[in-house]
Structure 1
Amino acid sequence: MKVGLISPVVTAVPGLVAAWEQDAGITGLATIAETADRLGFHHLTCSEHVVVPSDVAVQRGATYWDPLATLGYLAARTTRIRLATQVLVLGYHHPLEIVKRYGTLDRVSNGRLVLGLGVGSLQEEFELLGAPFAGRGGRADDALRALRASLGVEEPTYSGSHYQFADVVVRPTAVQRHVPLWIGGSSLRSLQRAATLADGWVPFGLPLDGYRALLDQVDQPDGFEVVLPAGHLDPIGAPERTVAKLEAAQSAGATVLNTTIRAESVAHYVEQLEALAELGGL
């Protein structure tokens, strides 16, 4: 069973963030990451919002740590656990920008990068960044093709509907020639995009039977990762319920589990990880 973590601390969604997370900082997060690394957890995550309008922050929260800086620091504090963006918004970046910046992260982490990528839905953020919102789906598809042609390649060449480049050098680039690409989103279109242009699907916001219904409509290639949320887990306080949630996500089609851990402090979170590792057979 591959079990990953929705990282605490790095986001603060109203109603969901625990009080201790606001004070834990990078030191607390690193302690959690080191423990997860030692115990054999598959990945940890960091999301991306560059800027959130004040009225939107009431629902989505305003705290979003930058994934490149955050995961770069955690790369130096860990040795095995994968570092997953969940997710970068493709429309905010030129593909070669991602190739260079996150290719460097892959190199400094010795090949542990997972690029979680999404089309994006917050129109106000697109507009504030000067990124086109209309047509973002087609642009994202072309960006994915450009990324696949370029990650791990020092002299990439690509000619597509939105991006074209040749006679360029990107150095350093990723250690992995095939960096795993996971597509976020909870629509049928996002799953189709993932199955045809990427390596996995990392949805959110639906009940498990909703994910199962979508998965039943799309053929997935060999090795395709379905990264489903297992919900909020309390391995020490409710071990049987924790196991049931893990098994339910697997039954819905998960090949990788995304978990959120209930905790009251960094120390408690570490204890919960120890218990979850035992329950999950890591």
Structure 2
Amino acid sequence: MVRVLPEGRLSYGMQLPIQSQSRIYAEAWEATAGPDDLVAVAREADRDGFAYLACCDHVAIPRRLAEGMSTVWYDPVATLAHLAAVTDRVQLLTHVAVLGLRHPLALAKQYATLDHLSGGRLILGVGAGHVQEEFDALGADFAGRGAVLDESIDALRAALGPEEFPEFAGERYAFSGLGQLPRPARERVPVWVGGSSPAAVRRAAVRGDGWLPQGDPRDRLPAQIAKLGRLREEAGITGPLEIGAIAEPLYVGDAGWDVGRRTLSGKPEALAESLRAYAAMGVHQIQVRFRSRGRAELTDQMAAFAAEVAPHLDR
């Protein structure tokens, strides 16, 4: 297992705006935003000590889901590579790559190149996927996607390792005698497993370097974290597992506009006190999202969080 976050502190990262525009979380201004806005947000995160920037993964959205999910889903490899070129230190997370849609060797070529070009900043977040039409259109196995994901993780571990000619033999995938350069800059690319179902939690426990929960409210997290620990102990795994959480929407200060009843807003010290509860549960990183009416307000919120809230997270 590999650790990428500093020990003894609560790190914070964020899902990029604009690149995915589900009606559940996208702000109205994102509909007319573009590459310049993405770059500005990425550079702000780089300046402000954000641990990572995250990008989602969907190939195509069926009509039955388009109204709620929208059809705006940027490609994660292209997006993160573009932002790697305009940032220096922030890590680049796929949250999450749907591995079952693509062959592991093709994925390895893309992600090894991304890690190489970014100087070792890739965190490969992976998940099973949930949109059957995507799988059907690409000739992928939707019904068996859990087992496919398990094997894909193992195959990618081999393909993203240090060997120029990696080898793997599984039930679905096998390769040997096939060289791929460049290799990743990291000796081992960290794999964070997404999902909160029993199967996803078990997968994170036995195959992951980290866990990315999906929609778990605060009161569910302690039991899930305890389960991860039990599963790892039963499997004889002693290395670190970096545990994440998706925090409530945030607004630093008094908004002066309706930011929604679920949003945590107010004085920085009060926000930090609320967020410290995640660390007390055993969470290592929180994914934060800020309510905003435009790019400038978003980057101002990011800067305010870094300067006024983050210093209090570890007290």
Q: TM-score range by the shorter chain?
A: over 0.9
Aligned match of 1:49: 58
SS of 2:53's partner is: strand
State the distance in 2 between where 1:247 and 1:94 align: 40
| Deviation of the 1:173 alpha carbon | 2.1
- 1:140 paired residue number: 149
Alignment of 1:66-105 (within 5 A): 66-105=75-114
CA shift digits 1:128-157 (9 cap, x unpaired): 221111221111111111111121432100
Contact kept? 1:229, 1:249, Cα under 8 Å = no
Distance 1:241 1:189, change over 3 A: farther
What is the one-letter code of the residue matched to 1:280? A
Aligned to 1:24: 33
More divergent stretch after superposition (204-213 vs 46-55): 204-213
Distance 2:108 2:24 in 1: 35
Distance (Å, rounded) in 2 between the aligned partners of 1:187 and 1:135: 15
2:280 maps to amino acid: S
Check whether the contact 1:209–1:252 (CA below 8 A) recurs between aligned residues: no
Task: State the Cα distance separating 1:253 from its structure 2 match.
Answer: 2.6
Partner of 1:280: 310
CA displacement at 1:175 relative to structure 2: 1.0
CA RMSD of aligned residues (A): 1.5
Secondary structure of the 2:248 match is: strand
Corresponding residue number in structure 2 for 1:160: 170
Code of the residue aligned with 1:158 in structure 2: it is F
Q: Which residue in the other structure is 1:246 paired with?
A: 275
Q: Map 1:91-240 to 2 at 5 A.
A: 91-152=100-161, 153-219=163-229, 220=232, 221-237=238-254, 238=266, 239-240=268-269
Relative to structure 2, which stretch is displaced further, 247-256 or 132-141? Answer: 247-256
Deviation at 1:240, TM superposition (A): 4.5
Cα deviation code 1:212-254 (max 9, x no counterpart): 2122122254321111111211123323553244223223331
Q: Give 1:268's aligned residue.
A: 297
Distance 2:219 2:24 in 1: 25
- How many angstroms apart in 1 are the aligned matches of 2:218 and 2:70? 25
Question: 1:245, 1:66 → 2: CA distance?
Answer: 34
SS at match of 2:95: strand
Give, in whole Å, the separation in 1 of the partners of 2:67 and 2:11. 34
Supply the distance in 2 between the matched residues of 1:249 and 1:62 (Cα, whole angstroms).
33
Q: Is contact 2:24-2:68 (8 Å) kept?
A: no
Between the aligned partners of 2:31 and 2:21, the Cα distance in structure 1 is 8
1:15 CA drift (Å): 4.7
Q: Describe the superposition over 1:173-205 as per-residue Cα deviations: whole angstroms up to 9, x where unpaired.
A: 211121010111111221211121120110112
In 1: Cα distance, 2:56 partner to 2:24 partner: 18
**TM-score scaled by structure 1?**
0.95
- Residues 89 and 117 in structure 1, CA contact (< 8 A), matched pair in contact too: yes
What residue identity is the alignment partner of 1:163? Answer: Y
Q: Percent identity among equivalent residues?
A: 39
| Partner SS for 2:50 | coil
> Aligned partners of 2:251 and 2:270: how far apart in 1?
8
The 1:179/1:20 distance shift into structure 2, 3 A limit, reads: same
1:58 alignment partner in structure 2: 67
* Letter paired with 1:18: E
Structure 1 unaligned regions, length at least 5: none
1-side partners of 2:282 and 2:171: how far apart? 34
Q: State how many pairs are aligned.
A: 282
AA aligned to 1:247 is: R
**What amino acid maps onto 1:176 in structure 2?**
R
